[in-house]
Structure 1
Amino acid sequence: MHGARVAAAPISWGVCEIPDWGPQLPWERVLDEMAQAGYEGTELGPWGFLPTEPERLRAALQDRGLRLVAAFVPLPLRDPAHYPQAEAEVRRTAELLARFGAGCLVFADAGDELRARVAGRPQLTASHGIRPADWPSYGDRVTRLARLVRDSYGLPVAFHPHGGTYVENPQEVDALLAHTDPELVGLCLDTGHLLFGGGDPLDVARRHASRVNHVHLKDVDASRLRGLLAQGLTYAQAAKQGVFVELGTGSVDLPGIAARLREAGYRGWLVVEQDRVVTDDTDTLASARRNREFVRRTFGV
């Protein structure tokens, strides 16, 4: 895949923005292992995990030969009253990313307790979602924020469908893209979350190829996912029970994704992620190396 580059994200080391997710490893260990496993860059992770003072962060990355490639920012987008909060979050993160020449800022809906309870169940998310009449205003808020990011910070935006949020199932992904400006809002193709939400990542990659400007490579044990969702688990509970697995060991057609991205001429970042909980004793380096080797074999980078 000519021109694409491979990065990692702190979530593969158990670092997550969700409260009470689990133990958090030191950022120094996380960056050290990314570099040792052969990744070229990292996403920022939750605000405050990596140093946010620019010179300190620059030194930490340069010492390990890593680049800052993007940041994932969950935003309270459903309620117009929360727009100022979303804008403040966007400005804070975009200002830091712009200093590092990052590839993009990744938006996601922040979700809420209701959507967390029905995550991964399209038959329920469809009736607990954004009303058709409200999609134009939702899309307008996303587009306005994306225009702010482009005009003020020079960064493109990718929108990330995510389990437990109001942009999760295939119909919601289609609606989001239909109601946002394609010149301003791209798509973060997260292969795991699209499957989690009841979709087919390969179908999304095919139908929305022109919008894909950032990629999160994940794999999912679909059989385990079905069993856990049948028990009524939330997104976070299911993730903690191991539904996200190492690349090539789950149910996502990653070779098919590679072929589709290659056909589309994708030249952006491929960010390896495995949403999970780890401890000090977890051999995160060995896992990171296996994932990196899978990307090398399957995607040719």
Structure 2
Amino acid sequence: MTEGITWGIAPIGWRNDDIPEIGAENTLSHLLSDIVVAGFQGTEAGGFFPDTKILKKELELRKLRIAGKWFSSFLIRDGVQSVSKQFHEHCAFLKEVNASVAVVSEQTYSIQGTAKNVFGEKPFFTNEEWKVFTQGLNELGKIATDYDLHLVYHHHMGTGVQTLEEIDRLMALTDSSYVHLLYDTGHIFVSDNDYMTLLKKHRNRIKHVHFKDVRLTTLKNCKNNHLSFLQSFLKGMFTVPGDGCIDFKEVYKYLIETNYNGWIIIEAEQDPAIAHPLEYALIARKYIDENLFEKNHI
């Protein structure tokens, strides 16, 4: 184990909140037990997770932790007052399970759950919408601190904050005391064909990390066929580290050199009927052990 880094794997390989029918047979007990078998220290909470009392019991039995949970904000559509009420509930859940971060993604105009071409029809915000969005995000960040959480913003394919240019603007318009960044290797690579520039440029804002790999041939096919985000991941565009084209050794080395302190979550949206969740968790575990550590254990 590298001091300061906690390793987890996301539930999205077992069950997917955007397409609830895939992997529906995978229970919480199944997921958490697979995570133990694969040697990870925790996970992020999924939409299918139970209330905190049940969840804490299941976690304690396996000595696992919750890193955080996704929150879909609609600051532009609904306004900060409406969103804040939901976010308070979200943060209360996370504090109860001793999480570290609240993962936020602005979903106004998002096409990530639609049939639209994710490579050519992403939304954009107007100058006024950027102002409403970033001011609202600062307010949500203040709420998060009240619960001893970091708000980490998730740049994401098919949304208004996807490209490096948009992330630059987000960082410039938000308060670094309250709004932090979730660095996702897969999303920025698919968007910009580059993952190190973002890491180096905004390392001081990064408080949470997703290691997501990309199958380059599949990505090219998805682009050529103008597929949606959901269609693309079902085709296998994303995978776990060691099974795609991203050099995580370079990423990890830079994180270590800059004293990153937080979670690194393995995340790969795939169809569990095609990509066996435990099998791919073990592929990721093997890659980490053999390529990122001098000693073969965490």
The TM-score normalised by the length of structure 2 is 0.90
RMSD of equivalent CA atoms: 2.0
Task: Tell me if 1:10 matches 2:4.
Answer: no
Unmatched tracts of structure 1, length 5 or more: none
* Partner-residue secondary structure (3-state), 1:78: helix
Q: Aligned partner of 2:192: which letter?
A: G
1:205 and 2:199 are equivalent in the alignment: yes
Runs of 5+ in structure 2 lacking a partner? none
Q: 1:119 to 1:91 in 2, by over 3 A?
A: same
CA contact (8 A) 1:37 1:285 kept: yes
Q: In structure 1, how many angstroms separate the alpha carbons of the residues matched to 2:95 and 2:180?
A: 18
Are positions 1:105 and 2:102 aligned together? Answer: yes
Higher deviation after alignment, 58-67 or 108-117: 108-117
Residues of 1 paired with 2:225 and 2:190: CA distance? Answer: 15
Query: Counterpart of 2:192 in 1: which secondary structure?
Result: coil
Give the fraction of aligned pairs with identical amino acids, expressed as a percent. 24
Structure-2 residue corresponding to 1:72: 70
Residues 199 and 168 (structure 1), Cα distance of their counterparts in 2 relative to 1, 3 Å cut: farther
Q: Deviations over 1:160-206 (max 9, x none)?
A: 01111111112111111111111111110111111122252211100
Write the distance in 1 (CA, Å) between the matches of 2:68 and 2:174.
21
- How far apart, CA to CA, are the structure 2 residues paired with 1:189 and 1:272? 12
Name the TM-score, length of structure 1 as normaliser: 0.89
| Aligned structure 1 segments of 4 or more residues deviating by more than 4 angstroms | 113-116
1:292 corresponds to 2:289 = no
**1:191-242 per-position Cα deviation (integer Å, ceiling 9, x unaligned):** 1111122252211100001011000110011232122122111111101110
The whole-number CA distance in structure 1 between the counterparts of 2:268 and 2:118 is 18
Q: Which residue is equivalent to 1:150?
A: 145
Is 1:119 matched with 2:118?
A: yes
The answer as to whether partners of 1:119 and 1:235 remain within 8 angstroms in 2 is yes
Equivalent residues of 1:8, 1:41 under 8 A apart: yes
Separation (CA, whole Å) in 2 of partners of 1:51 and 1:40: 19
8 Å contact 2:105–2:155 — kept in the other structure? yes
Secondary structure (helix, strand or coil) at the match of 1:107 reads strand
Contact 1:170 1:198 survives alignment (8 Å): yes
CA distance in 2, matches of 1:5, 1:271: 8
Superposed displacement of residue 45, structure 1: 1.2
Once the two structures are TM-superposed, the CA of residue 55 in structure 1 deviates from its matched residue by 2.0
Greater RCO between the two (CA within 8 Å, min separation 6)?
Answer: 1
Deviation of residue 28 (structure 1)? 1.3
Deviation at 1:142, TM superposition (A): 0.8
Q: Kindly indicate whether the alpha-carbon contact (under 8 Å) linking 1:9 and 1:272 is maintained by their aligned counterparts in 2.
A: yes
In the other structure, the counterpart of 1:51 is: 50
* Paired residue type of 1:221: R
Q: CA shift at 1:111, angstroms?
A: 4.8
Distance, in Å, in 1 between the alignment partners of 2:184 and 2:12 is 13
Deviates more, 1:259-268 or 1:196-205: 196-205
Contact 1:110-1:165 at 8 Å conserved across structures? yes
